[in-house]
Structure 1
């Protein structure tokens, strides 16, 4: 197949989970002998993402078209002020990506299918051009960008039950509506249900495909399927953004409140705003909490006896819960979004309600009271889904499923 992968942000730009998945899809589909072109956004003269075309070392083509805004969409939020951010979002909403530029690329490529990833900043031009060319559209949804410019529907410490007025204004021109002719792929049932609840993509053909898309080659083979502790201190691990939505503050407070915290440690890996990181360090003052900054994920998987995913937002389905299980590490996570679908559904961890006082500290204390040696000796009884979990791309046949969805989309052509 000739496949156009649309990804507004693409390596070597900074990557979040969606960007990593788009890059991995380009690599894996190319290795499967498909002719792959990545359509991304660029800025004239940008040192990282300049406008133009080049051949990627992994065997696919990258085409960057101009983005008519003062900075590119980014995996992490800009540090600009409120008014400047509003200006940027307004420009993005009114079409900073040119339909003429997108149409030119799609027409020249004569693609069999458009495989849209994180591409809301290319709308409405992207789908308008694809429909005009009668090109099948497969849209992989990994967040709530179609409903919220911040992508997480989380504001002032709470999850939004409906679209905020300003969000509705800024996303209205995405223009997906009922999604006729679109094949939608969600990373969890939670994502699918939330988008359908808001009346979008109700006429699309839906698939749910969990993030088991990392090849075995990308895992540290020496760590896969761990069955024993790697230190003599019971270690809780956190890996991710240091933000309120991610719930890391809840984790630090819960750990600091443990009566037995002196016999354990908490490793916190990730980046955040300087003021929020300083706040977290104040919460952890005097406790065995180590802030590691941005480190390779394997550092946490190698040391943690349990990985904690304390998300307050309705997280779609993070890569961490899959990766930790592949490495043999049990998890504790909130009962929100796609987290319980994997942890409870596959028997790989415990879940709790973050709105219930002491719920998290109770589970941390429960794990600690079992004891480190017994924790690992009883792992398979406590978490029967970890051993043999099909969390790699090969074991889950992830890219075979993607190929089937892409090839099958031709029978679900977009309307002109």
Structure 2
């Protein structure tokens, strides 16, 4: 079996969970004896191919107005042109076609396709290749891929997003099998009419990033920002991208306003737009609040008592939750998106994002878990459902079933036709 995986970015260009999951999947398939190629986008240089841990990785230089993965602000009209071109990027599609012709895969597995081209679905269809697509965000429904505007999560598409999504919805009919990283994100698309001809829809949760075996033999390093540990002080952590939709301000505001946790410290780890991070530092200039920047996750989890995932936007999955569980750390999550479905059910540590004051009660409950014998082991056991090998095995099973079934896409003449 030869699988061609298409995702916007790939190692070493990592900005989020999609790139991590794609690499785990690609290398896990290679370990299972599958021939794997990956095609992705890069900002600079010429088109090139590298072999990384057994995977042929094709890096295609972006063909659009600008590279979107920077904090630089763009004028509205430039964004509009960028997204309009991204809907049908014929220049990228032509290069994708050459990759398909060169690699001759048995199946095309797509994920995030921003900066690449949805034309890869048409290319695969004309070549008679089955298409499996994984939904990881709202890219098909929203230009920003977040469904988040003016400080709130969008409950429905605005007219601009609906116009943007219309051609993508039409193209989604070319997909044979659709996968969601959570049932929530899958249903958000299926109920809006995406993937109308898919023969099957599945949920395969993302996985946590496994630590290197050498790291497991050593205790996690101590981060200097934690200082000396006082058992009377509740150490509360937030880890991830520092941006408005992540709800970090909710945690800071509620901790500063409450009276039931007399001693606490809040550790905010992650990076974001410098202007926004500086704004938070000024607004919450309290000695109990520490901005730590980029950190080693394992070291961070070793230094906190509870993790909070306070996302305002409707998270498609929330990998940081299962990463914390894998280290035995309890998690308090917002009732937004797929977060509640990942929270360990027995603890039920979910607060109401519309009533932020409910966070404090859940923090009290999470801190009380430390006195329960075996609570860490219970959380770590829950994390086993999100092991990397389980994710890889689930994809492999779907690929095998797709290839064993009757041809889903009859080859069309003229592979070089308009995408």
Q: Deviations over 1:377-416 (max 9, x none)?
A: 22656x8841422437658622111111112122262365
SS for the counterpart of 1:389 is helix
In the alignment, which of 58, 66, 74 is matched to residue 80 of structure 1?
74
Taking the aligned partners of 2:118 and 2:243, their CA distance within structure 1 comes to 30
SS for the counterpart of 2:173 is coil
In the alignment, which of 108, 111, 114 is matched to residue 117 of structure 1?
111
Map 1:96-245 to 2 at 5 A. 97-176=91-170, 179=173, 181-204=175-198, 205-212=200-207, 214-215=209-210, 217=212, 220-221=215-216, 232=231, 233-245=233-245
Inter-CA distance 315–300: structure 2 relative to 1 (3 Å threshold)? same
In the alignment, which of 381, 388, 391 is matched to residue 381 of structure 2?
388
Give the drift of 1:117.
1.8
Name the residue aligned to 1:317: 317
Name the residue aligned to 2:328: 328
SS for the counterpart of 2:164 is helix
SS for the counterpart of 2:245 is coil
Name the residue aligned to 1:52: 48
Inter-CA distance 394–13: structure 2 relative to 1 (3 Å threshold)? closer
Any conservation in 1 of the 2:24–2:388 contact (CA below 8 Å)? no
Name the residue aligned to 2:298: 298
Inter-CA distance 16–5: structure 2 relative to 1 (3 Å threshold)? same
Any conservation in 2 of the 1:307–1:330 contact (CA below 8 Å)? yes
Aligned residues: 399
In the alignment, which of 392, 402, 405 is matched to residue 398 of structure 2?
405
Taking the aligned partners of 1:102 and 1:161, their CA distance within structure 2 comes to 34
Name the residue aligned to 2:339: 339
Structure 1 range deviating more: 159-168 or 385-394 = 385-394
- Structure 1 residues not aligned, in runs of 5+: none
- When normalised by structure 2's length, the TM-score is 0.86
Inter-CA distance 140–350: structure 2 relative to 1 (3 Å threshold)? same
Taking the aligned partners of 2:178 and 2:372, their CA distance within structure 1 comes to 40
Taking the aligned partners of 1:201 and 1:84, their CA distance within structure 2 comes to 30
Give the drift of 1:67.
2.7
Any conservation in 2 of the 1:223–1:327 contact (CA below 8 Å)? no
SS for the counterpart of 1:265 is strand
Any conservation in 2 of the 1:348–1:384 contact (CA below 8 Å)? no
SS for the counterpart of 2:125 is helix
SS for the counterpart of 1:337 is coil
- When normalised by structure 1's length, the TM-score is 0.87
Taking the aligned partners of 2:72 and 2:135, their CA distance within structure 1 comes to 22
Taking the aligned partners of 2:80 and 2:281, their CA distance within structure 1 comes to 31
Taking the aligned partners of 1:247 and 1:223, their CA distance within structure 2 comes to 31
